[in-house]
Amino acid sequence: MSNIDEARRRLVTVLGADAVVWDGIGRMLYEYDGGVDRAVPDLIAFPANEADVVVIARIATESGLPLIPRGAGTGLSGGAIAREGGIVVAFNRMRKIRRLDYENARAIVEPGVVNLELSQTTAPAGYIFVPDPSSQQACTIGGNVAENSGGPHTLAYGVTVNHITGLRAVLADGRVVSTGGLANDIPGYDLTGTLVGSEGTMAMVTAIAAKLTRLPEAVRTLLAVYARIESAADTVSAVTAAGITPAAMEMLDGFTLRAVEAYIHAGYPLDAAAVLLIELEGLKEEVASQAEEVLRICRESGAAEVRLARDAEDRARLWKGRKHAFGAVGRISPNFYVMDGVIPRTRIADVLRDGDHIGRHYQLRIGNIFHAGDGNLHPLVFYDGRQAGELDRAIAASREIIRLCVEAGGSISGEHGVGMEKDELMPWMFSEADLDFMRQLRAVWNPEGRLNPGKLLPARACRETRDGGPGGLRMAAGQDDGDRSDQPRSAAAAGQQQTEPR
C-alpha cells in the first residue's frame, strides 16, 4: 500500500468518508485557483474543527505528504495549488463566528468564514470587518490572513494584518500554537504579524481574532470623469497633497469601464478615458467639507464631470461596477490574466503608458482596474487560451509590467500574494541574504518544508517541479534561471483545543 493510500485510509477512518476526496474527478476540482497554473492534489481533507486539523497534520507527517491549506480558492497567485501533490486541507466547513464582542470591538472566527458574511452579521450592531477584497462575496477570512489581502478601502484602513490581533494555528507536525490575543498589543515578538501574509508556508490557521470597526457616521461617493488618463492620475496626487485621505480611490481606464458598463449598467460614461471612484468617510461635517474640496481638486485637475452619488442606492450601483469589474471583462475576451503590482502614486501615468507599449509589443490588449490611492495596479492582459502561445505571451507581458513597477520604486505584489506565480521574481526586490533569512524564519515553523511547498520564496529544490516535473506544471514564459534583477529592462519596456486566541 502506498503512502497516499495509507493516508487516505487513515483520514477516512478518523474524519469519515464524506470528509475526504480521492477520486480523479473530485481531485480535479481542486487543481486550480483564480490564477492560471494547475496541479492535481493527491487527497482533499475537510476538517470540521481544530482537532481534525491536528489529525490531518499528523497523518501527513507520518506519510511524508505535503499539506496545502485552502480557503475558497479565489486567490490569484497559485497559493492554494498542490504544486508538489499532497493533501489539500480545505477549510470550508470551519465557518463558525465564535464570538462577537461589540464592547471591545472584536470578533473570533474560524478560517472558513466568508469575508462579507462577517460584516453582514455585525452591520446591524454598527460594525464591519474593514478589509474588503473584490472577491469578498466568496473569499474567506482565513484566505485573507494567508495572503494579507487588501481591497478598495486599504487606502484609509490598511490591509488584513492591520485588523488581526491574534491567531490559533496548527504546525506541520500537529502542534497547536497561539499568537497575539484580543488586546491591541501583546508583549514579545509579533508572531501574529509574521503569520499574516505567510501564505500557508508556516502554519494552518484555525481561529482568528479580528478587529471590528464602527460604521462611519457619513459616507460620500464621487465619480470623476476624465478625457485624459493623465488627468485622473494627477488628481490622485493632488488629493493626497491636499491632506485628504479618502476611504477609497479607485481608477478604471476607458476600455475597461466600457466593458463594465455594458454588463453592470452602473452609470459609467462610455466616452471617458478614465474614471475615478472616490469615497470619503467620517463625521458628517468633515465629510461634507472634504467632498467640496475633492470636487474642486477634480475639476482643477481636468475632470470633465464630477458626479456625487445621490443616495445609498446610487452609491451601491457605482460600487457594483467596481466590485464586479473582473467578471464583466469576460464579455470582451475569452480569458484574461490579472497581475498585481505597486508603484508610487506619482508614477501612475508613466507606468500605465509604458504598460500600453508592452501590450502592443506582445499584440495583446491591456485594461486597468486598480486601487489608485495606494498605487496598487491590477493590469488585465486579455488573451484567448484557445490560441497557441497566447497565454505565454500574456504571462510574459505581465512580468514586464511588474518589472516596471519594481523599477518605479514599487513592489511585485500589493495584495494578491506571491504564491507560485511570482516566487522567482522575489530576487527583483530582495538580495540572496534577505531570502536566506526568510528561509531560516520559515524553517523555524516548518522545518521539513511540507507546508505549502514551492510557494512565496524561490527554492532551488523546487526547480524540477517548475520545469514540468512532479505536479505537471508548465514553466511560464520568461521563468528561466537567467531572468534576474541584474539583467536589463525588457525590450518592450525599454522601447517604453483551546479553540480561540488567548
State whether 274 and 393 are in the same domain. no
Tell me: the pLDDT tens digits for 1-49?
699 999 999 999 999 999 999 999 999 999 999 999 999 999 999 999 9
Q: What is the pLDDT of residue 500?
A: 64
Q: What is the mean pLDDT of residues 71-86?
A: 97
Quick check: pTM over 0.75?
Answer: yes
Share of the chain above pLDDT 70, in %: 91
Domain boundary among 159, 186, 214: 214
Between the alpha carbon of residue 41 and those of residues 53, 203, 455, 462, the distances in Å are 17, 19, 15, 16
Give yes or no for residue 261 having a pLDDT over 50.
yes
> Quick one: pLDDT at residue 481?
36
Question: In terms of domains, do 74 and 107 share one?
Answer: no
pLDDT in tens, 322-341: 988 888 888 889 999 999 99
Query: To the nearest whole number, what is the mean pLDDT of the chain?
Result: 91
Q: Which residues contact 436 (CB under 8 A, 6 or more apart)?
A: none
Alpha carbon distances (Å) from 397 to 132, 187, 259, 368, 429: 28, 46, 22, 14, 19
Does residue 198 sit in the same domain as residue 233? no
* Contacts by 94-102, CB closer than 8 A, 24 or more apart: 94/47, 94/48, 94/49, 94/142, 94/206, 95/140, 97/121, 98/207, 98/499, 98/500, 99/500, 100/125, 100/212, 101/182, 102/126, 102/127, 102/212
Answer yes or no: do 169 and 275 share one domain.
no
Asked whether residue 437 is assigned to any structural domain, the reply reads yes
| Residue at a domain's end among 298, 321, 344 | 321
The per-residue pLDDT for 323 is 86
Cα–Cα distance for residue pair 105/159, rounded to 1 Å:
17
Task: Tell me the residue range of the domain where 361 lies.
Answer: 333-494
Do 177 and 56 lie in a common domain?
Answer: no
* pLDDT score recorded for residue 184: 84
Least confident range of 195-204, 413-422, 468-477, 486-495: 468-477
pLDDT at residue number 502:
59
Q: How far apart are CA 285 and CA 305, in angstroms?
A: 24
| SS (HEC) of 303-334 | EEEEEECCCHHHHHHHHHHHHCHHHHHHHCCC
Q: State residue 331's pLDDT score.
A: 81
Local structure of residue 99 (DSSP, 8 states)? E
Q: Express the helix, strand and coil content of the chain in percent, nearest 5 each.
A: 40, 20, 40
Does any domain span residue 136? yes
pLDDT digits (tens, 9 = 90+) for 139-181: 999 999 999 999 999 999 999 999 999 999 999 999 999 999 9
Condensed to tens digits (0 to 9), the pLDDT of residues 450-495 reads 999 999 999 754 433 333 333 333 333 333 333 333 333 444 544 4
In this prediction, residue 327 carries a pLDDT of 81
Residue 270 located in a structural domain:
yes
- pLDDT tens track for 373-405: 999 999 999 999 999 999 999 999 999 999 999
Do 129 and 102 touch, CB atoms closer than 8 A? Answer: no
